[in-house]
Amino acid sequence: MSPLLEIEGLCTEFAQKSGVLRAVRGVDLSMEPGETLALVGESGCGKSITAASVLRLVPPPGRITAGSIRFKGIELLHLSEDRMREIRGNRIAMVFQDPMTSLNPVFTIGYQVAEGLRVHRGLDKKQAEREAAAILSEVGIPAPMERMKDYPHQLSGGMRQRVMIAMALALRPELVIADEPTTALDVTIQAQILELLDRLMAEHRMGMILITHNLGIVAERADRTAIMYAGEIVESAPTADLFANPLHPYTRGLLASLPESGKPGEKLATFAGNVPDLKGEFTGCPFRERCPIGEERCTKHMIEMKEAGPGHLVRCLKAP
């Protein structure tokens, strides 16, 4: 079986007056059809820019400066903009973090869900509306024909996120990128949205990149997990293996920061120091200044990924 998505050596930069911000630095990722790949890391590590790069939607002044992004063997970085538009939404879809900034406030829900069906599948207005209502029903929106007349501000946060999922899945894409899809929702609604995504992924055999900082969600739902720090993938492995045997000091620190007892006053592990300035030129491991096991040699050269076990890759000189 050929990979659904292969990313090799991806670099995405932002030219700024104060220097070039290297947001994504040599990222390698691969995933299979129907697989859920979690991309995990703290805010600002490059997760969302990696996703935007896959869709070739990096906001200006950002640009992809190196690498390869192959979707089912198609090199996306070589496609014309017209051809890329055919793939966006149709074969690769995105569920954004904040539906209020992604949904257009001046169009009804029905119009926005039906628009992709008209553009990509050539349905007429009546056909697109019927299909849109069916999709809204599928994602758990009650009385979909009535809700189609509503505007985004008339729906709750959970309902708006369901609309975003409906828009993303309307054309039955082969890959869905979900960027923090439940961040602004309460715990109960979060669980409903994630269960909905799980069900739809399984029913339609879609692959999913799940971008999150919530390790609880990752443990329950991801087949594979990639840990990102300062624009680099520092560890990737089957999820169960990564949680049972974390090898990179950053991964260990993330897992150690999870509450265990849930009791008030429980002390959580923290990282000393700060994330390196990605505008600067530096060699060696970007985590070296915060690493509890770092050595002088960690500052000398860029650290390559190495295989520590079946499917388990780590970017650390001291990993086994």
Residue 198: the pLDDT is 86
CATH number of the domain located at residue range(s) 5-229 in this protein: 3.40.50.300
Nearest-angstrom CA–CA distance, 182 and 259 = 20
- The helix (H) or strand (E) run that includes residue 240 is helix 239-244
Range with lowest mean pLDDT among 32-46, 100-114, 162-176, 279-293: 279-293
Residue 201: the pLDDT is 84
Residue among 14, 31, 39 at smallest CA distance from 72:
31
Nearest-angstrom CA–CA distance, 226 and 156 = 32
Residue 150: φ, ψ to 5°: -80, 160
Burial class (CB in 10 A: 0-12, 13-18, 19+), 238: middle
- What is the average pLDDT score of the chain? 90
Nearest-angstrom CA–CA distance, 230 and 227 = 10
**In this predicted model, what pLDDT tens digit does every residue of 193-221 receive, in sequence order?**
788 888 888 888 899 999 998 898 899 99
Confidence of residue 180 (pLDDT cuts 50, 70, 90): confident
